[in-house]
Structure 1
Amino acid sequence: MTGYSLRAATTADIDAFSRVIRGAFFVTSEPDPSDSIRTVLDPSRYTLAEFGGQIVGTAGIFTRDLAVPGAVIPAAHVTGVSVAPAHTRKGLLRRMMTDQLTSVPEAIAVLWASEGRIYQRFGYGLASQNVTLRADRRELSIRSTVGGDTGTLRSAAPSEVLKELSEVYGRVLAERPGWSSRDDAWWGHLTTDLEKHRDGFTATRAVLYENAEGVVEGFTRYRVRSEWDDNGPKGEVNVVELVAATPAAEAALWRFLLRVDLTRTVVKGLSSVDEPIFHLVDEPRRLGGKIGDGLWVRIVDLPRALVSRRYAAPVDVVLEVTDELLPANAGRWRLRVGAGGALVNCSPTDAPADLSCDVLELGAAYLGGTKLGALAATGRVREHRPGAVAAASTAFGWHVSPASIEIF
């Protein structure tokens, strides 16, 4: 590590650290000053590594909130972690990640992992799974109209209906662990639709579902790529996202997507493992679901993180936690949750441990998707009091599986 130094970025560094990120991910184009991502990044939250006066490593954070079971809390959205190829295998990544985690004010950090093996070394646990759907729409139909199909659909360019999109998203956000907050800048970034980024698809369109009173209850953003063969059309509908506040909106929007003319396939990434569409269609295997990893969660401030979410059941358990990187999290903690999953207290204790694990396992369980019971089956959570795993696993669970509907 001789000759390396760390510092916070400034606005003047954006092009330079962007080149490091692009080089690490094999992006051949030069940084673009008009790129909408620049409207949402805060250079001061980027840790830069320098060698010989040149930037050779980056680790950034977006300042956003995250929906967790029963709450929406600040979370460090880690992004742009990269090391220039000539400077890898020197401990530089560990130095940047350690610096980042020891300085963030948020109680948790979250990220999408290029490779999971990288971030488990720093205490990140796999907290959600995402499903990619590749549906053969000719073999699918919605089984029935849910709640009465009395609403109407309205099509628009996303930029024309940002207010409606934002309002619906805001209504749904708190009920969907793993979703991230979006201010006006984020909405502007997410709906920027330059032709050079479309990869053969049309411009993105929005379709809004309005109930009988004219209230928007859901929307989808989608695009279409045309394709033909000797047998005729076989276009693809790419669903950017679908957000529904009611069952009627969910069914109506999916019904629309499965009926787009001249298409044969509907693709939707970043779906939840318990996506309602699995229970709406008449032949769910034709949805072609494939499961992959989603968000990875790192608990930064253990007691603050555990009292910031709600729980599915009352529990009184002593957790013995190890944390090599952040020793303030290590030790025995008594977690007490009252009726209704509230009245939470988490404090140090000398009482005997009921369960023991690393902070990674608590991060994995934090959003309510990964079960402590499943981790116990691997030996990564160890039970010292009979029944403690079952009680804690139930309490940490949640009625909605976590998923993130955007990669940051």
Structure 2
Amino acid sequence: MTDADLPLRTATPDDFPKASALLFALFHRALDQEAQDLDRRVWEADRALVVTDGPDVVGHAAALTRELTVPGAVLPAAHVTGVGVAPTHRRRGLLTRLMHRQLRDVRDAGREPIAVLWASEARIYPRFGYGLASTRLELAIDNRQVTLPAATAPPRLRAGTPADLLPELTKVYDTLRPERPGWSSRDEAGWATVVADLAIYREGATERRAVVHEGDGGIDGYAMWRTKSGWTNTGPNAEVHVTEIAAANPVAYAALWRFLLGIDLARRVMYGFAAVDDPLLHMVDDAPRLDTHLSDGLWVRVVDLPAALAARRYTAPFDVVLDVSDPLLPENAGRWRVAGGPGGATCERTDAAADLACDIVDVGAAYLGGTSLAALAGAGRVRELRPGAVNAASTAFGWHRMPISPEVF
């Protein structure tokens, strides 16, 4: 039997142990029963694909059924995860088979106009039509070098474990989510993975802790973090590892950051999920001391182009004809007239002359408003066929908040 003949099928619940063991090995993690049990809670057998070689699972790709906030809307989105092939079966086309089958399954189901993922290796996924739709800042803050404006009143903060504060965390998150492009819905199982405190994930740090901020209208912000002890010849040198922070207003956000930057015996505060327009950049007195590093975030694959482009909102009125190429999902290929603005949009096939030409990768990259069509045109990826079309479309596709995903799924 050749690799092209190896069975590729929808998983069954019985496949989970072997699929999980494969993924733990691929991502260089020690097999852990608690972590497997947690993963099983979100794994959907009917949305997972496996390639088998005899009794072994040698390839896997899954999708989670969740929603994603996009500019002006909340959409069903296939959250792709757990993609990998056993090292004994690499470079034989199994990944391509898995990704092609998954895209076709999502398209044929007709429920989700887009798919999203985090890429362990960025060069892989453009081959399957995914575009880099958001970037993030990783912060490594020397807390002795930055200062926030003084509070006008003592903050009302309450600390505890994430599990104890889960109702408050959930309420804040669900209140903010509809306005935050890149945020995903979380059901009970999803929250369980967010607040889980397994020893395998601590890497020498403490258990995860949480703090909530209470404003005049109730709880309006929270943060979760760990600390990692450290000492030098000159004194304490601990680190604070912030895993998530969210707030409904500037007062709550500043109060939470004052708390995190002021934890005793700590000298560095690390945070890996700041948006490129994060308010903290403009709150501190010396932004370069935040020591930012730009990294990739969500990758978006437009699966149903007319549904996806009609579902989101746009910052300004526009009317443009796109000529789109999509070799994997030919239903998306061709010329589309997209017209709309802040109140809604339409996307329909047309025989009119194209204003812009691009690949489906570029539509995905621009979809969340975090990658401008003008930048893609500057890189030669979007071609302007009518003078002025790039500027108008780029403005419309932008958004007032840059997209950011607060979690890796």
Please, what TM-score do these two structures have when normalized by structure 1? 0.96
Q: Give the distance between the partners of 1:256 and 1:210, measured in 2 at CA.
A: 13
> How many Å apart are 1:31 and its aligned residue?
5.3
Q: 2:120 aligns with which of 89, 114, 119?
A: 114
Q: Tell me the distance in 2 between the aligned counterparts of 1:305 and 1:294.
A: 20
Structure 2 residue 259 is matched with structure 1 residue 253 = no
2:12 maps to what in 1? 10
- In the alignment, which residue of structure 1 is the partner of 2:392? 391
Alignment match of 1:181 (pick from 179, 185, 207): 185
| Partners of 2:240 and 2:270 within 8 A in 1 | yes
Structure 1 CA distance for aligned equivalents of residues 227 and 22 of structure 2:
33
Deviation, 1:204, is 1.1
Contact 1:3–1:51 (CA<8 Å) still a contact in 2? no
- Give the residue type in structure 2 aligned to 1:15: P
Deviation at 1:36, TM superposition (A): 1.4
The 8 Å contact of residues 35 and 198 in structure 2, kept in 1 or not, is answered as: no
Q: Establish whether residue 64 from structure 1 lines up as the match of residue 70 from structure 2.
A: no
Equivalent residues in 2 for 1:141-290, closer than 5 Å: 141-145=147-151, 148-149=152-153, 151-213=155-217, 215-290=218-293
Moved more, 1-10 or 358-367: 1-10
Closer, same or farther in 2 for the Cα pair 1:32/1:263, shift >3 Å?
Answer: closer
- Residue 314 of structure 2 contacts residue 344 of structure 2 at CA under 8 Å; is this kept in 1? no
- In structure 2, give the amino acid aligned to 1:353: A
Displacement of 1:342 in angstroms is: 2.1
Deviation at 1:308, TM superposition (A): 1.1
Name 2:312's counterpart in structure 1.
Answer: 309
CA contact 1:127–1:370 (8 Å) conserved in 2: yes
What displacement does 1:82 show?
0.4
Pairing partner for 1:95 from 94, 97, 116: 97
SS of aligned partner of 1:379:
coil
1:40-59 matches, within 5 Å, as: 40-59=42-61
Per the TM alignment, residue 52 of structure 1 is displaced from its structure 2 partner at its CA by: 2.8
> Secondary structure, in 3 states, of the residue corresponding to 1:117?
coil
Structure 1 position 53, deviation (Å): 3.9
Note the C-alpha offset of 1:258.
Answer: 0.8
Paired with 1:9 and 1:110, the residues of 2 have a C-alpha distance of 20
Q: How many residues align?
A: 403
Shift in Å, 1:229: 1.2
SS in 1 for 2:115: strand
Q: Deviations over 1:293-341 (max 9, x none)?
A: 1111000000000011111111100000000000000000000104xx1
Does the Cα contact within 8 Å between 1:225 and 1:236 map onto a contact in 2? yes
AA partner of residue 120 (structure 1): P
> What amino acid maps onto 1:125 in structure 2?
G
Corresponding residue SS for 2:144: helix
Please say if residues 230 and 238 of structure 2, whose CA atoms lie closer than 8 Å, have aligned partners that are also in contact: yes
Task: Report if the CA contact (8 A) 1:371-1:397 is conserved.
Answer: yes
Equivalent residues of 1:19, 1:31 under 8 A apart: no
Deviation at 1:67, TM superposition (A): 0.8
Structure 1 stretches of 4+ moved >4 Å: 30-34
The one-letter code matched in structure 2 to 1:35 is D
Q: Deviations over 1:333-388 (max 9, x none)?
A: 000104xx123110000000000000000000000010000000111100011110
Cα distance per residue 1:90-136 (max 9 Å; x no partner): 11111110000011131100001111110010010000001110000
The whole-number CA distance in structure 2 between the counterparts of 1:39 and 1:30 is 15
Give the equivalent residue in structure 2 for 1:326.
Answer: 329
The range that moved more, 196-205 or 296-305, is 196-205
- Could you say what secondary structure the match of 1:243 adopts? strand
- How far apart are 1:184 and its partner, in Å? 1.6
Supply the AA of the counterpart residue of 1:59: A
1:128 aligns with 2:138: no
| Residue in 1 that maps onto 2:380 | 379
Deviation at 1:144, TM superposition (A): 4.2
In structure 1, the partner of 2:363 is: 362
Gaps of 5+ in 2: none
Q: CA distance change for structure 1 residues 279 and 2 in 2, over 3 Å: closer, same or farther?
A: closer
Q: 1:401 to 1:2 in 2, by over 3 A?
A: closer
- Aligned partner letter, 1:389: V
Please give the alpha-carbon distance, in whole angstroms, between the structure 2 residues aligned to 1:312 and 1:328: 27
Sequence identity (%) = 51
Report the CA distance shift for 1:198/1:85 in structure 2 as closer, same or farther (over 3 A).
same
Cα RMSD (Å) = 1.3
TM-fit CA distance, 1:161: 1.4
Give the counterpart letter for 1:361 in structure 2: D
What amino acid sits opposite 2:406 in the alignment?
A: I
Aligned counterparts of 2:94 and 2:27: Cα–Cα separation in 1: 17
Give the aligned residue type for 2:343: A
CA gap 1:88/1:144 in 2 versus in 1, 3 angstroms:
same
Contact kept in structure 2, 1:177 and 1:403, CA below 8 Å: yes
Moved more, 151-160 or 376-385: 151-160
The answer (yes or no) to whether the contact 1:71–1:309 under 8 Å persists in 2 is yes
